Each structure stands twice: as C-alpha cells, then as structure tokens.
Amino acid sequence: VVHTIQHDRGKLQPTTLQSIIYVHLKPSTRCIQRSERRCELLQDLVDLCCMCECVLRQSNTLYTTPSVSIVYIPLSLTHTHTHTSFSLHPQVQTNRQSELHYEEVQFFSDDTLYQRGIQWYMEQFPYPPSPSVPPTNSSLPSSPPPPPTLLFEKSATYFVHPQAPQRAKAVLPQAQLVVILADPSHRAYSWYQHQRAHSDPTAVRFSFSEVIRASPSSPPHLSSLSHHCLTPGHYHQHISHWLEYYDHSQLLLIDGDELVERPAAVMDQLLEFLRLPFHPFQNILQYDSRKGFYCVVESNRRKKCLGKSKGRSYPPMTDEDQQWLSSYYAPHNAQLKELLTRLGRTPPRWLI
C-alpha cells in the first residue's frame, strides 16, 4: 500500500511528497469475509455482488470450480424430471435440498437469501474439497486428479427475475445456462393447475379463464396470479435480458415437447453442450404407461418414478382459452422466432 496525498482530481502536486513509505499489510480475515464486511458498511450504496471480486482469487477451494446454473421455465413435471435424470451422471453434483424452497436454492431471485453472500450459496452444493498438492520434492508419485465435477441447480424463478441475470453473471461469469422452451399456452395452464393443486386460494376461487383475462384493475391477488401465469411465456423478453449479461454461446435452448417425448436424446444434447462424457441415458430412462412419462430404471431393473404430485392429470384447456392464449402470445412468439433466427438456433416445434 502506498500512502499518498492527492490534489487536483487525483494528480500529485510536485511538492507533496518528500519520501514514500511502503507498508506491507497481511490481511487477518479471508477475502470473502472482508468483502462481506465492506458490503455491510456500504449496503445502501452497493449491491452484494461486490463480494464476487473474491471468487477468482480463491485457490484450492470450491470457488475455482467451474459450475453451471441451469435456468428452467417453471413447468413442474418437465424441469423436475430433467433435474432427476441429469443428477444420474457420475460427474454431476446438484445442490442440497433447501429448507425454504425444497429442491431449489433460489439464491439469485430471493433478496433475503442473496444477502447471505457467496459463501452461503456455495455451501449449498455438496462438493468435496480439492485434494492437497504434494511437495515438489516428494518421492511419492502423485495420484491423478479426480474427474471434474459439474455443479448445477434448477430454478423456476431465475428466468423471469429482473435482477437474477446480473447477480448470476457477477458470481458465475462462466456459467452455462439451459432454458426449457415449453409452449407458453401449455405452460400457463400447467402453472395454474400447479397452483390449484397446492390449494392456492386464488387459483381455487377463480377459473383459468378468469385468471388469464384479469386486468390491472382486478383484485391484486388475481392480477398477481395472472401475471405469474402469462409473463414467463414472454420468452423473447427474458432471453434478451439474460443475453445482456451472458454470451449466447453459454445458452442452450431445449424444446419442451422434445424433452417430454425423447428425454434420453435431450440428455445427450445437454452432455454435448456441457462437454461431459457420454452416459447411457437411453438405458436408464424408460417410459411408464401407467404414469404417462419416463421413469428411472434402477440397478435391480425396478422403475423409480416421480411422486404422485408429479404428472398429475387435469381437465384439458377449453378451446376458447386456447384461442385466447394463441392470440395473446402471437406477437411474443413472433419476436422469439426472430431472435432465434438471428442467433442461428432451431425453433421448437410448437413455434414452427
């Protein structure tokens, strides 16, 4: 640290210094702790992303490990099934189950959790510490390094949260992002039924037709449910927002229909995107006609399917609601198709 006195917008006056004293300081706290303390002092001026300056300076710790954030459209069965299937890969680690949000961490979309800082976030992943490096003069042969472990999480909230892209970029600049593009009309109906199955009072009281047609002057709880049903399907808007912070090469877009019908092929596509070794998903995932979706085949050849709450059946959407949603999403889908064409991406089948 060089102690100087500065004048005139940072320029040193010629007669200011007669000598320079160099003081060598040895920090008594870890980088993460120092940044957390700075953020506490400046909490009204800066975002907690200031802690991210430490991430690249950690050595032999979790923070230097490449990780992947997987961003899902909130289509319950699809993203839960993908999460379960992808976790079967031997070089993949997912987060521990959260006490607050069950399967999801929601660090980047929950302001309270985000205040806990990077160290708390990384502690949500059961990653082992890096092996110690033997001395250079050791006569013992060094063991080969363990295979790289990919960390991933799924989220139903990151995709649409206005601050999540900036926060994620600050913490995980090299993250790979995966978005499942389901038909927005089906996604909206699925979300309504999901809320209804969980006894959301607004979803129980109002029909799907009433929810999607709610206006800004509707009761707040009805407008809120309508917003959560409809706006996640504005794919162009949300993808464009993420691409303000990440390069499009870090983004994989998955056709939701393809994932439901051919999950093993989609898993192969995901492994190629993440540069992970091949894994025989075609031997692990098997269709179960009783459940109506693919289940995991265990070593004893027994099928392990998702719980009763997944893949639940509900009445089909009415033709009137389908037509209303088709008209509502038409301009949004046109913008999405234009964006995908510009990025050189193949549009999902429901968009063609």
Residues 290, 273: contact at Cβ < 8 Å? no
Alpha-carbon distances of 76 from 167, 231, 250, 322, rounded to whole Å: 24, 16, 24, 20
The answer to whether 342 is annotated as binding is no
CA dist 195 and 189 (Å) reads 10
The answer to whether 345 is annotated as binding is no
- Tell me, what amino acid is at 98? S
CA dist 251 and 244 (Å) reads 12
The answer to whether 311 is annotated as binding is yes
CA dist 89 and 125 (Å) reads 16
The answer to whether 190 is annotated as binding is yes
The answer to whether 132 is annotated as binding is no
CA dist 212 and 317 (Å) reads 12
Could you tell me the two tokens for 87?
């976790």
Could you tell me the two tokens for 103?
């399967």
The answer to whether 85 is annotated as binding is no
CA dist 33 and 54 (Å) reads 10
The answer to whether 314 is annotated as binding is yes
CA dist 279 and 86 (Å) reads 10
- Tell me, what amino acid is at 327? S
- What is the DSSP code string of 20-37? --B-----SS-HHHHHHH
Q: How far is CA 266 from the centre of its chain?
A: 18
- What is the DSSP code string of 287-324? EETTTTEEEEE-TTS-EE---TTTT---PPPPHHHHHH
As beta bridge partners, residue 93 has: 151
Q: Which residues does the annotation place in the binding site for 3'-phosphoadenylyl sulfate?
A: 190, 294, 310-314
Q: Which residues does the annotation place in the binding site?
A: 190, 294, 310-314
